[in-house]
Amino acid sequence: MSATKLAGLLVVDKPAGPTSHDVVKRVRARLQARAGHAGTLDPQATGVLLVCVGAATRLSKFLQAHDKVYEGVVQLGWATDTYDAEGVATTESQQPPELSEELVEAALQDFVGDLEQVPPVYSAKKINGEPSYRRARRGEEVTPKAVSVRVHSIQLLALEGDRIHVRVHCGAGTYVRTLAHDLGQALGCPAHLAALRRVSSGPFGIEGALPWDDLERGDGSDVAARVLPPEEMLPEWPAVIVNEEGATRVAHGGALEPNCIIDRRDGSSGRGALELKDGGGWVRVLEAGGHMLAAAELNPGGVLQPRVVLT
């Protein structure tokens, strides 16, 4: 596939240091193709960064909605203005109280479930159309509004003196930095997030990610070989396979008639296309060879309407 036609998903293991945009620029340079990330990682955070390539950048919004799993280290003793190790200390250094694993685990459980979370002042959360961190850096007073987030689970991995190692499974938009800050308050000691690694985003885990050195040193063909095709980007969605008439309709954004569909496949979530007959779901539209043509919404009455066309 030529660089101009290359489309899909590159899962990158981002190191500490580069911004998410730095990674995207490197991907663009290696592949000579359009690219964009599907969910920012802070510069000092590491791990899974999803980079959409070519026409598949149109699917980015769906990937951003995925649950995430992180492993992080909460440092007790002082808080910072960014809630992580990059910020300026906002408290005097304090000796943490004596903590047991049972006490820490009990405190962590208070942060599981549906929460109203206030994002850090230094975050990409937009206020009147501008990222909060830009306003803060100009010295403006910034008061981010609380947002609803979901934390599915928090597991205590280790308690090592003044450092708490945790594994967090959370919904999109959750700030682990804020969890670290708030955990410190719950334990009666200021705290910040000392380290963070994203180990998965939706179905894409760190074990399948492209190492940074391979992105830095590999040539375009090596990197292109690691790009997952669009039909593998949303495996949880059910799929329909269309005939040539259906493919033509999709290319022009037209609704798919039942006679255009020659087969159906369940998604990895177990949800089947036929289960969506009352509307309100998304479906991958594939041509006979298995390549993804579009993301379609199943409207009431069973009409499939392409919304994101990749051809």
Count of beta carbons in the 10 Å neighbourhood of residue 91: 14
In 177-189, which positions are buried (b, 16+ CB within 10 angstroms) versus exposed (e)?
Answer: bbbbbbbbeebeb
Angle between helices 101-109 and 176-187 (to 10 degrees): 120
Burial group, residue 35, by CB count within 10 angstroms (0-12, 13-18, 19+) = buried
Question: Which of 124, 123, 179 is CA-nearest to residue 151?
Answer: 179
Provide the 3-class DSSP secondary structure of residue 102: helix
181, 79 Cβ separation under 8 angstroms = yes
Active site residue 42: yes
241, 287 Cβ separation under 8 angstroms = yes
Q: Which residue has the tokens 């003044």?
A: 162
Question: Which of 216, 261, 208 is CA-nearest to residue 232?
Answer: 208
From the candidates 42, 81, 266, 278, give the one annotated as an active-site residue: 42
In 143-156, which positions are buried (b, 16+ CB within 10 angstroms) versus exposed (e)?
Answer: ebeeeebbbeebeb
Count of beta carbons in the 10 Å neighbourhood of residue 214: 15
In sequence order, what are the residues at sequence separation of 6 or more whose Cβ sits closer than 8 angstroms to the Cβ of residue 290? 231, 241
Catalytic residue set: 42
